[in-house]
Structure formats: C-alpha cells, structure tokens
Structure 1
Amino acid sequence: MRIVFTLFFLLYTFKVSAQERITISGFVKEQGSQEQLPGVNVYIPDTPYGTVTNTYGFYSLTLPVADSALIVYSFVGYEKTERKISLTKNTELNILLTTINQLEEVVVSSRRQEDYVSRSAQMSQIEIPIQQIKKIPAFFGEKDVLKVLQLMPGVQKGTEGQTGLYVRGGGPDQNLIILDDAVVYNANHLFGFFSIFNSDALKSVELTKGGFPARYGGRLSSVLEMNMKEGSKDALHGEGGIGIISSRLRLEGPISKGKSSFLISGRRTYIDILAAPLIARNQRGSDEQVKPGYYFYDLNAKINYDLGTKDKVYLSGYFGHDKFYANETGNNDESRAGLDWENKTATLRWNHLLNQKLFVNTSFIYSNFNFGVSNDSKDLNTDGSTQDEFSLRYTSKIRDWGVKTDLDYYPSPKHAVKFGAQATFHRFIPSALALKGSFIDESIERSVKPVNTLESGIYIEDTWQAADALKMNAGFRISSFQTASKTYIRPEPRFSAALRLAQNFSFKASYAQMNQYVHLLSNTGLGLPTDLWVPTTDRVAPQQSKQIAIGLAKDLEKPALTLTLEGYYKKMNHILNYKEGASFLSINGENANELSWEDNVTAGKGWSYGAEFLVHKKTGRFSGWVGYTLSWTKWQFTELNFGKTFYPRYDRRHDLSVVGIYELSKRITLSATWVYGTGNALTLPMASFTGVTDNFFSRFSSGGKSTVTWNGDRVNEYGEKNSFRAEPFHRLDLALQLHRKKKRYERTWEFGLYNAYNRRNPFFYDISEEKLANGNTKSTLKRYSLFPVLPSVSYNFKF
C-alpha cells in the first residue's frame, strides 16, 4: 500500500503544463432512474479533447481556458446531449441522458461518436448492449449472457448447449469472471446448460480477450466484467418472465427518493415439479420406486445510497444453488444419491470523489463456492435387515475474502491514469472424501486440511493521447501469491496502442503478460461443477501466459458498422492436467487416506494462435454481427501422450457465427442465429482385447487411456491423445417477439425454435459391441446427439 500512496502523491502533485487550465467533471446518469452510466463518451467536437465515463459514470475533462465550448455526451441507446458552457472556471456538471425507447420516434441520421472502435487504444474487447442480448434467440427462451458471448470471434463453446467459454485457446478456469468486483468461480446451472447470470439484473457486460489493462490480473485468457443495475431512484419498476423451465422477476425502486434505491431479481426453475407426474406415471406397475429431481434458483440483490455529492455506498450480492437428487426403493435395496453446488458473492463498495480530477473506489469482497456429492445404498435381507451398505461423501470448497482500491486520475486531456492495489485471502478445501461399506476392505476417510493462501497485486496504467493519430495504454502490474512456505512474485507488463491511418481507420497492437495462481482440474475439459479448484503450492507453480496481438479497426458511417480483423499468438506455461487414469475421485485401495491431488496432476505448456474477423452493427432497425475465427491450440505434457504435442478437446479450426435482429415494426421483432464449428478433438479406442480384472476401485478411474469394463473381459487400447475429430456442428435458431405497450406496462410474447432444421450435432461418441452369428464380435462407433428441434414460448412483462 505504501507504493500506491507514493504513486498517488507523485501523480497528484504532477504539473502537466504551464498553460492555465480548468476542469469540467461530474456524473452521467439515466433520466428517471438516475442509474449511473459507464462508457459514455464525453467530447468537444472537432478537437482532440474527450474522455469516457468510468464504471460509476464519473468523468473529468481538463481544458485550456476559453470563453465557451460545446460539450457532447453520447451513448448507445440514449439520445445525444449537448451543453454549451463557459471555460473560465472549474465546473461540476452532472448530465441526465434520455433512453431512445422513451421517445415516440427516433431517426438515426449518422454514426454515433461512442461507436468508433478505431479511436480506442484498447483492442480484443467485446461489449454487447443488454437490450441486444434480450432479442437474440435463446435455448428454451432463457436469455443467457455467456451463450451470446460464444457467438463472438475468439470465443468458443465446449459442447453443444454448454455455457463454458474457451477464449483464444484457454480453458474455462482461465476466464476471470467478475460480478460487481466479486470473482465467480463456477458460472453454471443445470450442469453447464445455463449460466447463473440473469440478464434482467445486469447493466453492462464487457469481455476482454487480449491487451489486458493492468488493473486486471489472476487469469490467462479473458476478463468478463459484469455490473449489476443499481435500481431506480424515482419510482417502483419491475420486469419478469414465465418460460417453459423457469420463471423470473425483478423489482427495483427508491428507498429514499432521489438518494437511495434497491434492486432484487430472482429466478427459479420448476423442472422437478413438471417432471414429477411423468416419473410417477412411468413407475406404475413396477416394484421399484424412483424419485429423481433437479432444481436451481438464483437471487441478485443490490442497494445503494448517496451520502452526498462526493460519496456513494453500494451493497450487492448474488446467491445461487443447484441440487440434483435420486432416491430409489426396491424390494431388496434402497439408495439415495445427491449432487449439489452453490455460489455466494457479496460486495460492499464506497465511491469517494477526492477532487474534480481524482476518483476513488474501495471494495470489500466475499466469494464462496461449494460442491458436494453423496451416495448411500443398502442391500436388504428378506426380513428388512441390512445385508450390505455403501456410503460416499465428497466435498470441495473455495472461499475468498478480499479488499481492493482503485483510483482514477485525470491530470490532462491527454492522460487518464488508473492505479490501485488489491489483496485476496483464499481458503481451499480441494477434496475431502469419506467412503465406507461392508464389502470394502477398509473404510476411507480422506479429510484435507484447509489450504490458506494470500494473493495480492498493485498496478498503474495510463491511457495517453501521444499524438493526434496515436493513442496508447501502457501499464505495469506486480502480482504475488503466498503459500504456507513460499511466496511467488511476478511482474506483468501490459501495452496496447492504436495508430490512426486514416479517418476512422486504425492499426492496433498489444502485448500482455499474465499469471494465474488458481487451477481447475478437469477430466472432461468442460468446466463442470464436478471439476476441482486447487491453489498454487510449493510443488505446483502458477500458470503463465504471454500474448501478442495485432489488428485493424474500421468504423463506417453509412451503414453504421464496425469492422475488426485481429491476429494473435499466445504461449502458456505450467498449465495443469490430470495424469493418465486420474480423476477428481481417484482412489487407490492402498494409500487413499494419504493421497494428495498434487500426486494426480502433471504440468505442461500450450500454444494458441489464429485470426478473428468481426462485422458488428449495434443500432438501427436491423442489427447483429458476423464473426469468424481461424485458430490452432496445442498442448504438450511430459507425462501425457508419450510427451508428444496434441490438440486439446476444445481446439477448433473454424468457428463461424451469424446473428441478425430485425425490428419489423414497433410490435414485431424477428431474430436468427446460425453457427458452424469444427468438431471437438476426442480420444477413442483403436482396438480392444480380452483381459481380466476384479478391482473395485477401477470403477472410479475413468480419465485414463486404458479403460477396463467392469465385470467383463474387454480392455480398450488407445492411440495418440485426441487424435479423433468429431463431426462439425451447425445449427439455426429462430425467434419471434410480439410486443404490446399498455398504459401501465409492456408485455412481450416470444416464440423460439432451437435447432430449427433438426441437425443431429454430436454430443458424445460410444463404441458398442455386437455378437455375430459366427461368434465373433463387431464393434460399431455410434454418435449420440442431445438436442433435436426444440420449440419454446415465454411471456415477459415490464412495468
């Protein structure tokens, strides 16, 4: 912290120019709700003077003294506002912007200033308006932020229907997912088919794939920053929807009108309720009774209070839970199985305006992720007494307490400086296992002591308008990670620049060095909740990456399009994977009580490189984008695949997305998406032969290259890892929205069609054995698909 305050002192006392200057500063908010707006462009036309509001809607613009000037405020989805003011003294100027949809008619006559991607030093960044997300066709009508991001170049899905993000060759653990400054470790509902993020509660979504600003750290591949809405300060408002598998409701309104507000948003699935009668009907006439079920819920909440013109306090949180259960009762046996996981986050933030040029945000952060598996079964005698029993308990947890301070300093129109520090206290319980049974030689109790670690970092970055045609962002971060007996300290330089070659046409370049101190161990590579979060230790080094990217950005006036073309190369070191035959439930009968997860992993390196192309239109009656990615990803581990390089599961040569949204009228919206992608790289057996095994524990080791069939004689032999390429997948989704505006509320019926032409995309492959008449066995490779054409309907309302 001493370094941070030293930097602050130097920056605060720094004299930019001998020329007399004045400062215009304030907050930009939404008319009515008074929601603070991040990313609003503030500029003086036909001059180099301009800035952008920060995450909390604050801006500061230092200008030479003059009689007057015209200042313009513009933002996507809002009416442009102009103010002519005197530049003779420091002025505080707060602005309210009016949303376009509050007007009867809007004519877009020219390209809005804030859309000019070519004028920003930042590259490899994706920002999608929330209103555009809500118009895109969705799986079962559930609007999902992560699935929309999968439609962007450089972002790939793992498996059909899954929400996992694979950014420029990185795994799901290499994405820093932030919700109101809190890190979210598992973003999945329904085993990865839905994300935990309810778009009704979100204000902004921004994904950075490269050229990372120095304020971000802790992951290798991307930063997904989401901010929740603050709640309306003028009146009570609500929004909700009723769909096929879940319903949701958001309420927001003032606590003290004009000073404080609240927001609460909830969602709950009712799959378990709808499925119960069908399951009961299927079981009639059977001696067995099966009661399976699954549900999830999530809740977002936020309150904020204005303590005055210079201080604001926010308290926000997220709470989500998934639970799967299966209870079975027969004549001679009983079993109960369960699988559940939960996320909890809480953030307390304090905004303080030290002066017109210096803005401070301090956050206190809590994050918690728990995962558990349970299984209890009994074999009964005819008199009801227990003959054999089996019990399994498995848990994994990670809990964070953190604090961070970020300062925004605006010394002159040519400089916007950010600096700060953060510290996070992690507590890991990597894997605790209890296994016992009457048919097991010895009960297993593997209780892992909590692992306490401290992760911290300090940073400084400056966005500098070096010349009329050159804008740069240069920064430096120092990160550290402290275990019980070792401290890692790593430098992380960052740089990005944009050189304007012509009007609204720029060449961009960036370099970023990243370190990651937490790891996700996965057999599937899908980022499911069954995967295991573990820390860097004395034996396991942190992951590292170095990424360089270059590109071109062009903004067109008519039509209002943004075109970007980027190429990147990324090198990754110390990435982790399970050894052959290991998994999160790896057990060995001889030493299971002492086995550590560190004994099950191996470290390696990876490379990812490729090119990305995007054409994006955010405004107008017709909007959408076309994104294409050509990429290669390779891994190499000494203890895997005989030390040879191989393609990981989510390597994808070609990835194409086409998204279109058309406002046919004020009452009808049509939308469609079409995706195409190269199939996943998989490991399949090349041959099989007869073998014998009777080891009970082999049932729990499913991640290796040699799999022995339980109670059988068949042993599979595999070739090189992931040498089989699945069939390409492609899919068309359609949606029709019918809007109706009543006197006091708006309602929307949405009809959707997922996988409209019923493409049977591969979900997994299996080899089946068939006995022939001559006694020989025939092996057949079978492809299994998950989703046929699926219609959906939902009812949405807003007041």
Structure 2
Amino acid sequence: MKHTLLSLSILFLFELSATAQNPANRYTVSGYVREKGSQEALIGVNVYLPGTSTGTTTNTYGFYSLTLPAQDSVTLAFSFVGYESVQETRALRRNSELNILLTPGRLLSEVTVTGNRTSEEKVSESARMSTIDVPINQIKKIPAFLGEKDVLKVLQLMPGVQKGSEGSTGIYVRGGGPDQNLVIMDDAVVYNANHLFGFFSVFNGDALKSVELIKGGFPARYGGRLSSVIEMNMKEGNKEKLHGEGGIGLIASRLTLEGPIQKGKSSFLISGRRTYLDLLARPLIRAESKGEAMAGYFFYDLNAKVNYDFGRKDKVYLSGYFGRDKFFARETPKKEQSDKTSAGLFWGNGTGTLRWNHLFSEKLFSNASLIFSNYTFQIFSDQESTRRTGADLETETFQLRYNSGIRDFSVKYDLDYYPNPKHSVRFGVQTTHHKFTPSAIVLKDTEAEQFRTEVDAIRVQESGVYAEDTWKPTDRWRVNAGFRLSHFQHKAVNYFRPEPRLSTAFILKPDFSVKASYALMNQYVHLLSNTGIGLPTDLWVPTTDRIKPQQSQQLAAGFAKDFTKAGSLFRNLTLTVEGYYKTMKNIINYREGASFLLIDDPESANKVRWEDNVTAGKGWSYGGEFLLQKKVGRFSGWLGYTLSWTQWQFPELNFGKKFFPRYDRRHDISVVGIYELSPRITLSGTWVYGTGNALTVPLAEYASGPHQPNRTRFNNLFLYSPTVNDYSAKNSFRAEPYHRMDFGIQFHKKKRHHERTWEFSVYNLYNRRNPFFYSLENKSGEKPGAPSTTVLKRYSVFPVVPSFSYNFKF
C-alpha cells in the first residue's frame, strides 16, 4: 500500500511539473514506432533531428517523446537496424502525435548515411557500456548445433561471456556463476533456461523480438543479480494478417502462428516446439527388452501472447511461457514373479505476464505488470517386487519422490518521463513474493518403517524502488545515473541495501568516446551446485538469517569507436574496448562432500537444514574485452577477444586458499561471419578458442587397506578398504584448450505464397576432440608381467556433427 501511495504521489508531482514547465514556445512530439505490415512495436528506434545531437530512442513498447522549440517546420528522422529510414516534416505549434511505420529493408546493400548518422544509435554517443544486442535475424543465420537456433549459445560468442562444458548453454559473465544472470522474458524471471541437460536453451527464436545482454554499468531499473541481465521480449503478433513460420530438424520441430484478432487493434502469437528423441528411440528399446519396456527423453515448450489496443492511451498485453523436460524409464517383465520398475526426471518453467500501458501525457508513459514465474524439478523411482511364498504372492514396494522448486508472484510499476531532449527519466517499484522448496522428499519402503520426510517451504519477500536519468549535460557528455534501494525479508530478518549506479561517456571527437561505469549489485537468491553446469538438480535457495545476500561492485572503463565514413573499408563497423574489475562477497558453495539430497535417515532428515551444507566466501574477477562488430551489409558478424582472471576463496574449501573456479578462462576468442552471397544463398561460420577449464584431478591413487591378492572386484569395493585418490590443490589442473569451427549454408527460395529455406550445417568442422571430462584409468604393461600404470584419460563428446533443417514462412 505504501508503494502504491508513493507511486501515485510521484506521478502527481511529475504531472504538475510537466504542465508548469511547458512554456508556450516549446511543444512535444510523441507517438509509437511500429513495423509496417505487422504493426509490431519496435524497441530502440533512433529518433533525432538530422545533423544535430538532439534525439531519443523508443522504449520497450515502441513509445517515444521529444520536446522541441516551436517552429514552422521541423524534420524528424527515424532509423533502426534492418529497416528503411524515414523522415517526417511538420509544423510544431502545439503538442502533436506522430506514429511511424518502418519498412523492413534488405541487408544486401549498405545503409545510406544521412545527416552523419547510421541506421542505429551510435555506440560512441550512448552513455551505456558493457551492453550488447544481437538482431534476431542475425541469430537465425549463425550455424547451430543439431540445427537448433539458440539465443544463449550466440551470447556465448560475445566477449566477457564464457561458455560452460561442451555443447551446453551455460552462461558465465565476468567471473559470475549461472545463478548470477538475471534472465527475463516479458518481465518474468526464467530460473532454469536449459533443455536436454543444458545442451539447448528454452528460448525459441521464432517467438522473440529482441535480445539484449548487459554485463556491467547496469541501469538502476535492474536488480537482484550480480553479473548480467539477459532481457528478451516476445513478439506481439501481426495485427494485419495471418503469418506463420516453422522448421523441421533432426531432433525437433517448431511452428509459430501470429495474426489479428481484430484487425489493427489486437493480435495473437502462439509458438510451439517439441523434440522427438523418444519416438525415434522407442523401437530400439522395445527390441532389446525381455518384457514390456519404455524409456525416452523429450522436451517441449510453448510461447503465447495476446494484446489489445484500446486507443492512443491504453494497451494491454498478456503473455506466457510453458516448457517441460521429461526423462523416463519403465519396465514390466512378463514373468509372474518379477520386479516392475519405473523412474523419471522432470523439470520445467512456467511464466505469465499481464501488462497495462497507460499514457498520462505526451511526456509521461507508464507500465503496470502482474508477473508469475514457476520452476519445478522432480525425481521419482518406483519398484514393485512380487515373490511367491508358499501358495501366496507377496508384493513389496519402494517409492521415492524428490521435489524442489521456486515460485514467484510479482507486482511491478514503471514510469518513463521525458521532460526535454536532455533528460529521459525512469522510476518505478517492484515487489516479489518468493516461495522456495529446497527439498521435499517422500519415501515409502515396505521392508523398513514407512516414513515421510519433507522440508517446509520457505516464503520470503523481495522489493526494490529505483530512479534513473539519462542526461545530456552538453553536446559531448552523456550520463546515465541512478539509484536503487533493495529490500529483502525472511521471517523477522530484514535487509535494506542501497545500490548506486553510474555510466558516463565523453565524446572526444565525432564517432569516438571514452566511457566509465560503476555498479553495486545485491543478490538475495542463490543456486547450490555441485557441478557449476546449471543442471536441474541444482537448488535455488534464499537469503536467510544464516546466509547473507551476495554483493558485487564493478568498475569498468574503455572507449567506443563508430566507423561511418562513406567509402571506408571499415564503414558500419563498431569497436569497443573495455577493462573491468569486480569484487564479490557472500557467494556460497557446497561444503566438501555435501549433497543436494537431505535424506540421511528417518531420524535425522528433519533436523538437517540446507544451510548446514554450504559455506560462504568471496571472489574477484578482472580483465579486458575487445569487440569489433558489424550488423548490416552483405558481410556481417563480429570478432571478440577476452583476457580475464577469476578467483574464489572459501574458508572451508582448498584449506582457505584462493583458487580458480572451473570456468575461469584466461583467453577466449570468437570469430563470427555471415555473408549474403546472393538473395538465395547465405554462408556463415564461427570459430572459437578458449583456455581449458580449471579442474581438480587425482595426482595418484593407493590402497588404504592391507594387500589382498585373491580378492574379487566386489570385495575390493565393499569388503576391504577402497582405493584412495590423492588430490592436488583445488582446480590446479588445466584441461587442454578448447577450439572448434562451425559452418553453415542456407538456400532461400521465395514462392508465391511462402518462403522456404534449406539449411545445412556442420558442428566441429575439423573434428577437434575437445575434452569433456578426465578420469584415472589403469593401463596394462606392454610386456607380459610388466606392472600396470595409471594414466589420465581424456573423454570427448561431440566429433563432427552434420545437421540439416527445413524452414518455412508464410
């Protein structure tokens, strides 16, 4: 209630300010910029006066506002990557509405430079730094693993972003873990963004409109994570006509439909994807089984969105995502006396967002959101044994159910205020009710005492209020300053944490600027992981009276250069070079030997709290990043390089000494190229190189018990003292470097009513055997009687992997 009254009070004051500060000689032009042919709102369109530094950009909903001196004739230019630029001239003698439709343009020809501007806002003229956006059209042209286009795998190709293990979608930004990334889609948090145990992400590119990655210099409107923000917005749906696109690949197919509900006023979008690995494997499984058996794995996801335009001032959006992964196995032997078994592993996300846009005036835009997010994980194992005892059949059962998850309900209210061309102000409030279930176990065993063990759900409240201003004090200075106050409540424990933010740019000369930023971030949710890969078995847990919030401070500096000179070899290239230093404290990790399962025995399970299994520590990360990027033209792509160091320190790990986390990577290089050979043929390729992961491997092994020459392997494992490994310091071993090349070619053809694309790609073109994991193994001597030796053996997962897919649009 207090938050609501505060928002209304601020709104009232800004409305009075907007009225009082609008002298007769200044008027406001405002409106929406949409895509011609679909009415899709366009985010980040550059709106400016040609030949000047006066301008603004559209917000998340395509709205802009620009206040200018009164004049008989004013010309506004509208430009955006991949669209034809538009200029509109009109008299400015009163406040007016100007809505613009931009036509998608062809990327085969270079964009004409008009008024010393390119088709997008110059990187050198923006106060923001450490921010990367990749056009969806470009993502769809990059070679993909098994033909599945993946947003997160494209972001892994950016400097400052480390990938996890081979083929996975893990994201590690500037030394942070996978839990330190705020992944949001239409304002809703997605907690586990992985399908197929991390090999694919849950994001279907056909349903997305924009993707933005922020690595530092975070605007004050974002909070709750330490390392990055990955913000994605779904398409709204075509308001003019029915449109569809889809594809058929080796392991999955997808279909997206969008169209008007009421032409020009409302629209819908529905997009689905499903893999069919279970259907392909089913005949093989049945052929090998002696009874009735079924096993398999599949995932599916569904995106949906509807919206209604009530007029100039009000618009409503309802969007959602639902996805599941299921791994299962069942066997029912035909014999009367037998064991029936079934087991499975399920996990999935569900989100829902209801948003209401309201335009209070030409200068004040608001958005109110109701948000739901749910992540669940479940393991189950059932066994039924039937045995004959005399004339009777006795049945014994064993059942295990393990569940964990997190569920959120959020309310969010944001205001965008445009007092004049020098200021763009945002402020708002958000509160989220979290329900954590770190572990819930149900166990039933007829051979032992039946018992039920369940850890109580943890309910907490997380809130934040923020204000930020994008300010142009002079023609050369650009500033984004903000402040966020975050709050977290767990039972009687309250944390209030201030979070100042600042990003600034100074334009030394046209197209060249130096930048610096500072951000303090707090994180109140944690991910417990034994692997660091981001598997579904990892647990989300909250800050408590025993576990403090994570906190980071990051300082970054660098320069940005735009190459816009006509006829130049480097035309339409952008170059950014940045260095950063980040400290982290209160990051948590499992103690040595701890497990995510809290089941020890019936007597002690209820007494064990997850806090008993963790230890808190601190971390440091620093380095430099280089990015040369080109988004338009027949040839596009980027070259990225990262030089970085990351260290962690925990009092109860590695004897309290500093160590490198697994995904610390000294050097990381990525090269991405896309070439439009002709309107019908597109070539693309990527090459990546990275320093090997930091691992803990045994240096030697020895038997701790007496020598038993006649013991069997079973006795060795269970009756006598086992072999003991002698380990070095934590993560002191470096795996071999990782490198790989991918190649793809697309064949396009436009038919009368549709367009089809055949795509052929090759993952790991030159068959590099990259390390996936290492193990110690015994190797027999070359001569009879020679003693065996212990060797460290490398295992690889993916050799050359060709794939093809068929894609269509109508």
- Indicate which of 767, 791, 795 corresponds to 2:802: 791
User: In the TM superposition, what whole-angstrom CA distance separates every residue of 1:563-607 from its partner, at most 9, and x where no partner exists?
Assistant: 000000110010010000002125434622321111101100001
> In the alignment, which residue of structure 2 is the partner of 1:36?
41
1:457 Cα offset (Å): 0.5
Query: Given that residues 373 and 395 in structure 1 are in contact (C-alpha distance below 8 angstroms), is that contact kept between their aligned partners in structure 2?
Result: yes
Residue 529 of structure 1 pairs with residue 536 of structure 2: yes
1:388 Cα offset (Å): 6.7
> In the alignment, which residue of structure 2 is the partner of 1:129?
135
- Indicate which of 311, 336, 341 corresponds to 2:347: 341
Distance across 2 between alignment mates of 1:288 and 1:679: 45
Distance across 2 between alignment mates of 1:122 and 1:503: 17
Residues 268-417 of structure 1 mapped to structure 2, 5 A cutoff:
268-281=274-287, 283=288, 287=290, 291-328=294-331, 333-378=339-384, 381=387, 390-417=398-425
> In the alignment, which residue of structure 2 is the partner of 1:51?
56
Distance across 2 between alignment mates of 1:550 and 1:429: 41
1:751 Cα offset (Å): 0.5
Q: Secondary structure at the match of 1:620?
A: coil
Query: Given that residues 455 and 606 in structure 2 are in contact (C-alpha distance below 8 angstroms), is that contact kept between their aligned partners in structure 1?
Result: no
> In the alignment, which residue of structure 2 is the partner of 1:719?
728
- Indicate which of 617, 620, 624 corresponds to 1:607: 620
Structure 1, 53-62 or 330-339: larger mean CA deviation: 330-339
User: In the TM superposition, what whole-angstrom CA distance separates every residue of 1:276-331 from its partner, at most 9, and x where no partner exists?
Assistant: 123334x1xx6476532001100000000011111000000000011001224567
- Stretches of structure 2 that go unaligned for 5 or more consecutive residues are 707-715
Query: Given that residues 494 and 511 in structure 1 are in contact (C-alpha distance below 8 angstroms), is that contact kept between their aligned partners in structure 2?
Result: yes
Q: Secondary structure at the match of 1:147?
A: helix
User: In the TM superposition, what whole-angstrom CA distance separates every residue of 1:319-362 from its partner, at most 9, and x where no partner exists?
Assistant: 00110012245675442110000110000000000000000000
User: In the TM superposition, what whole-angstrom CA distance separates every residue of 1:518-552 from its partner, at most 9, and x where no partner exists?
Assistant: 10000000111110000111111111000010011
Q: For residue 42 of structure 2, what is the amino acid of its counterpart?
A: L
Q: Secondary structure at the match of 2:473?
A: strand
Q: Secondary structure at the match of 2:605?
A: coil
TM-score, normalized by length of structure 2? 0.93
Query: Given that residues 445 and 593 in structure 1 are in contact (C-alpha distance below 8 angstroms), is that contact kept between their aligned partners in structure 2?
Result: no
- Indicate which of 157, 179, 197 corresponds to 1:173: 179
Identical residues among aligned pairs (%): 64
Q: For residue 83 of structure 1, what is the amino acid of its counterpart?
A: E
Distance across 2 between alignment mates of 1:130 and 1:790: 24
> In the alignment, which residue of structure 1 is the partner of 2:713?
none
Query: Given that residues 46 and 121 in structure 2 are in contact (C-alpha distance below 8 angstroms), is that contact kept between their aligned partners in structure 1?
Result: no
User: In the TM superposition, what whole-angstrom CA distance separates every residue of 1:472-494 from its partner, at most 9, and x where no partner exists?
Assistant: 00000000011111111100000
Query: Given that residues 166 and 772 in structure 2 are in contact (C-alpha distance below 8 angstroms), is that contact kept between their aligned partners in structure 1?
Result: yes
Distance across 2 between alignment mates of 1:122 and 1:154: 16
Residue 495 of structure 1 pairs with residue 498 of structure 2: no
> In the alignment, which residue of structure 1 is the partner of 2:792?
781
Aligned residues: 779
Structure 1, 431-440 or 183-192: larger mean CA deviation: 431-440
> In the alignment, which residue of structure 2 is the partner of 1:155?
161
> In the alignment, which residue of structure 1 is the partner of 2:743?
734
Residue 462 of structure 1 pairs with residue 465 of structure 2: no
Query: Given that residues 423 and 454 in structure 1 are in contact (C-alpha distance below 8 angstroms), is that contact kept between their aligned partners in structure 2?
Result: yes
> In the alignment, which residue of structure 1 is the partner of 2:563?
556
Q: Secondary structure at the match of 2:224?
A: coil
Taking a change above 3 Å as real, the CA distance of residues 17 and 29 of structure 1, as seen in their structure-2 partners, is closer
> In the alignment, which residue of structure 2 is the partner of 1:697?
none
1:445 Cα offset (Å): 3.1
Q: For residue 645 of structure 1, what is the amino acid of its counterpart?
A: K
Q: For residue 423 of structure 2, what is the amino acid of its counterpart?
A: H
- Indicate which of 235, 238, 256 corresponds to 1:232: 238
Taking a change above 3 Å as real, the CA distance of residues 531 and 87 of structure 1, as seen in their structure-2 partners, is same
Query: Given that residues 378 and 386 in structure 1 are in contact (C-alpha distance below 8 angstroms), is that contact kept between their aligned partners in structure 2?
Result: no
1:66 Cα offset (Å): 1.7
1:709 Cα offset (Å): 5.9
Query: Given that residues 76 and 115 in structure 1 are in contact (C-alpha distance below 8 angstroms), is that contact kept between their aligned partners in structure 2?
Result: no
Distance across 2 between alignment mates of 1:659 and 1:667: 20
- Indicate which of 78, 83, 100 corresponds to 1:78: 83
1:134 Cα offset (Å): 0.3
Q: For residue 534 of structure 1, what is the amino acid of its counterpart?
A: V
Distance across 2 between alignment mates of 1:209 and 1:473: 15
1:687 Cα offset (Å): 2.3
Residue 98 of structure 1 pairs with residue 103 of structure 2: yes
Query: Given that residues 518 and 533 in structure 1 are in contact (C-alpha distance below 8 angstroms), is that contact kept between their aligned partners in structure 2?
Result: yes
Query: Given that residues 81 and 119 in structure 2 are in contact (C-alpha distance below 8 angstroms), is that contact kept between their aligned partners in structure 1?
Result: no
Distance across 2 between alignment mates of 1:200 and 1:151: 20
Residue 63 of structure 1 pairs with residue 68 of structure 2: yes
Residues 545-694 of structure 1 mapped to structure 2, 5 A cutoff:
545-557=552-564, 558=568, 559-589=571-601, 591-691=604-704
> In the alignment, which residue of structure 1 is the partner of 2:150?
144
1:435 Cα offset (Å): 3.6
User: In the TM superposition, what whole-angstrom CA distance separates every residue of 1:51-88 from its partner, at most 9, and x where no partner exists?
Assistant: 00000000000011122111000000110000011122
Query: Given that residues 186 and 353 in structure 2 are in contact (C-alpha distance below 8 angstroms), is that contact kept between their aligned partners in structure 1?
Result: yes
User: In the TM superposition, what whole-angstrom CA distance separates every residue of 1:212-237 from its partner, at most 9, and x where no partner exists?
Assistant: 00000000000011000000111000
1:193 Cα offset (Å): 0.4
RMSD of aligned C-alpha atoms? 2.1
1:649 Cα offset (Å): 0.8
> In the alignment, which residue of structure 1 is the partner of 2:712?
none
Q: For residue 763 of structure 1, what is the amino acid of its counterpart?
A: F
Q: Secondary structure at the match of 1:114?
A: coil
Query: Given that residues 110 and 634 in structure 2 are in contact (C-alpha distance below 8 angstroms), is that contact kept between their aligned partners in structure 1?
Result: no
Taking a change above 3 Å as real, the CA distance of residues 587 and 692 of structure 1, as seen in their structure-2 partners, is farther
Query: Given that residues 49 and 63 in structure 1 are in contact (C-alpha distance below 8 angstroms), is that contact kept between their aligned partners in structure 2?
Result: no
Query: Given that residues 441 and 599 in structure 2 are in contact (C-alpha distance below 8 angstroms), is that contact kept between their aligned partners in structure 1?
Result: no
1:8 Cα offset (Å): 3.4
Query: Given that residues 515 and 543 in structure 1 are in contact (C-alpha distance below 8 angstroms), is that contact kept between their aligned partners in structure 2?
Result: yes
Taking a change above 3 Å as real, the CA distance of residues 365 and 502 of structure 1, as seen in their structure-2 partners, is same
> In the alignment, which residue of structure 1 is the partner of 2:430?
422
Query: Given that residues 4 and 419 in structure 1 are in contact (C-alpha distance below 8 angstroms), is that contact kept between their aligned partners in structure 2?
Result: no
Q: For residue 75 of structure 2, what is the amino acid of its counterpart?
A: L
TM-score, normalized by length of structure 1? 0.94
Q: Secondary structure at the match of 1:137?
A: coil
Q: For residue 526 of structure 2, what is the amino acid of its counterpart?
A: H
Q: Secondary structure at the match of 2:376?
A: strand
Distance across 1 between alignment mates of 2:692 and 2:384: 43
- Indicate which of 484, 490, 514 corresponds to 1:507: 514
Q: For residue 377 of structure 1, what is the amino acid of its counterpart?
A: Q
Q: Secondary structure at the match of 2:164?
A: coil
1:377 Cα offset (Å): 3.1
Distance across 2 between alignment mates of 1:517 and 1:714: 41
Q: For residue 593 of structure 1, what is the amino acid of its counterpart?
A: N
Q: Secondary structure at the match of 2:285?
A: helix
Query: Given that residues 444 and 593 in structure 1 are in contact (C-alpha distance below 8 angstroms), is that contact kept between their aligned partners in structure 2?
Result: no
> In the alignment, which residue of structure 2 is the partner of 1:251?
257
Distance across 2 between alignment mates of 1:106 and 1:585: 58
> In the alignment, which residue of structure 1 is the partner of 2:493?
486
